[in-house]
Structure 1
Amino acid sequence: MARTNKLLVPGAEQALNQFKMEVAQEFGVSLGKDTTARSNGSVGGEMTKRLIAQAQGQHGKTE
């Protein structure tokens, strides 16, 4: 399957991968093809929640 996600910031992929590994470690999930979609998805969902919370916090500070 083709990957369609485009990163807006060059070099952000490495930081996102590190973030993903940190969240997976906190959740006790070993990411990979042998892991269930539910487990892998829980990591992605938590990443999204944290990124949104961070963005909202920054947005609130600038107003």
Structure 2
Amino acid sequence: MAGSRSNQLVVPQANQAIQQLKLEAAQELGVQIPQDGYYGNVSTRDAGSLGGYITKKLVQIAEQQLSGGSR
């Protein structure tokens, strides 16, 4: 299923970092990540929590970079 997605990364090399961020978010929130990578069976609440957490972390990283701070 992963090959049929329509989203394209602007920086394809960032894929590993994004996957790591997903894993960290899932661990922090106690959400079980599907082994096959298919998120269709993840509850809407869990998927929303993951998305919100990831967005929050990405904003924090961007703010740190813009302020000249390190991660």
Q: TM-score, normalization: structure 2? A: 0.70
Distance 2:8 2:49 in 1: 21
Q: Considering fraction of residues, name the structure with more helix.
A: 1
Q: Which runs of 5+ in 1 are unaligned?
A: none
Number of aligned residues: 61
Q: CA deviation at 1:11?
A: 2.1
1:47 to 41, 54, 66: 54
Runs of 4 or more consecutive aligned structure 1 residues displaced over 3 Å after TM superposition: none
Give the aligned partner of residue 21 of structure 1.
23
User: Percent of pairs identical after alignment?
Assistant: 43
Q: Which runs of 5+ in 2 are unaligned?
A: 35-39
Alignment RMSD: 1.9
Q: TM-score, normalization: structure 1? A: 0.77
